Amino acid sequence: MKIFGKKTGLSGGSDARKGIEKVARPEAFTIRVDPQKFNLATKPQGPVHEQLETLRQKLTKLSSNVENNLMLVIRASTKKNSDLAQSAFDFDKEYIQKGKFEVEYLCLAYSFFQALDEGDKKVVDLAREIMRKLETIGQYALNIAVKTEFIQLANIEILHKDEYDLKPMGDITAEMIKKAVEAFVSGNSKHATETLDMMKEIDEIYEKAVIKLRGEVNDENITNYTGILSVVEHVKMSADLSCDIARMLTD
C-alpha cells in the first residue's frame, strides 16, 4: 500500500515499522515552537494582573495577524494572485499557528493549574473562547486562499475595487474583529457595540453580492460564480464570528 507516495508494509513486523519510518512528517509537526519558553508555572510569577495583561497582549497580536491574513487572502483571490495566496499559508504557519499555540497553553495552564480567583479565571476562560473564534476565522482565510486558482472576477488589474465589494467587506470585517478583541482587552464594551453595529454594512454588501450573482449566473459561469459566492460567504461568516465575540462582552 502507498501512503504519501511511499510503500508501507501492512503484513506486520519490521516491514510495517520501516514503512512508517518512511512516511513524511505531517505539516503540523513542522511548526517551530518551544512550549518550554512559555515559562508556565502552577503559581503566577508576579502579580496576577501582570500575567493577565501579558495574555491580553498576546491575544491582541493573534487577532492582528488573523485580521491581516484575512485581508490578504481577499486581495489574493479577487486579483487571482497565486503567490499572494501561498504567502497566506506561510504567514498562517509562521505567525498565526504559533500565536494560537501559545495563547492556548497560557489559557489552559492558568485556568486549570493555577488557583486563580473567580474573576481572574473568568478572564482567562473568556480569552480562550475568543482564541477559538480567531482560530476559526484564520481557517476561513485559508479556505478563501484556496479559491484563488478557481475563480475569476472582472477587472482584476484594478487593485482596490471588485464588482462584489469584497475589498470593503473584508476591510470592515477586519475592523470588526479588531474592535471586538479590543473590547475584551480594554474592558470597554463600547467597542463590542460598535462591532455589532458594523454588521449592518456587512449584511448590505452581502445581500447585494448574492443578488448580483443570482441575477447573472448561467450554466456556463455557475462553477466560477459558486467559487465567488464561497468567498463572499466566508467573509460574512468571519464577520459573524466577530459579532459572537462582541456578544460575549455585552451579554
Q: At 19, is the pLDDT very low, low, confident or very high (cuts 50, 70, 90)?
A: very low
Considering the domain architecture, whether residues 214 and 113 belong to the same structural domain is answered as yes
Question: Both 72 and 179 in a single domain?
Answer: yes
Q: Tell me what pLDDT residue 115 has.
A: 95
50 lies in the same domain as 108: yes
Judgement on whether residues 104 and 189 belong to the same structural domain of the protein: yes
Own/partner pairs, 30-38, CB within 8 angstroms, 24+ separation: 30/93, 31/93, 31/97, 31/98, 31/101, 32/98, 33/98, 33/101, 33/102, 35/101, 35/105, 38/102, 38/105, 38/106, 38/109
The predicted structure's pLDDT at residue 32? 82
Instruction: For residues 80 and 201, state if they share a domain.
Output: yes
Give the model's confidence band at 7: pLDDT under 50 very low, under 70 low, under 90 confident, else very high: very low
Q: What is the pLDDT of residues 184-229, one digit of tens each?
A: 999 999 999 999 999 999 999 999 999 999 999 999 999 999 999 9
Give the per-residue pLDDT at 29. 58
Residue 107 belongs to what domain range?
31-250
The answer on 24 and 78 residing in a single domain is: no
17 and 93 fall within a common domain: no
pLDDT above 70: percentage of residues in the chain: 88
The reported pLDDT for the residue numbered 28 is: 56
Domain shared by 59 and 13, yes or no: no
Dist. CA 73–CA 66, nearest whole Å? 11
CATH number of the domain within which 85 lies: 1.20.58.220
User: 241 and 195 in one domain?
Assistant: yes
Read off the pLDDT of each residue in 172-181 and give the average, rounded to a whole number.
Answer: 98
Cell of 125: 476562560
**16 pLDDT exceeds 70?**
no
What residues pair up with 2 in beta bridges, in sequence order? 7
Domain count along the chain: 2
195 residue type, one letter: T
Are residues 187 and 76 both part of a single domain? yes
| Alpha-carbon span 25 to 196, nearest angstrom | 42
Answer whether 212's CB lies under 8 Å from 146's CB.
no
25 pLDDT more than 60? no
Residue found by looking up cell 479559491 in the block? 147
Handedness of CA 181, 182, 183, 185 (dihedral sign): positive
What is the distance between the alpha carbons of residues 231 and 34, in angstroms, rounded to a whole number? 35
187 alpha-carbon distance from chain centroid: 23
Q: Name the pLDDT band for 21 (thresholds 50, 70, 90).
A: very low
Asked whether residue 2 carries a pLDDT value surpassing 90, the answer given is no
Helix 166-186 vs helix 118-146: crossing angle, to nearest 10: 170
**55 and 136 share one domain:** yes
Residues 177 and 226 in one domain: yes
Residue pLDDT, tens place only, 123-162: 999 999 999 999 999 999 999 999 999 999 988 777 678 8
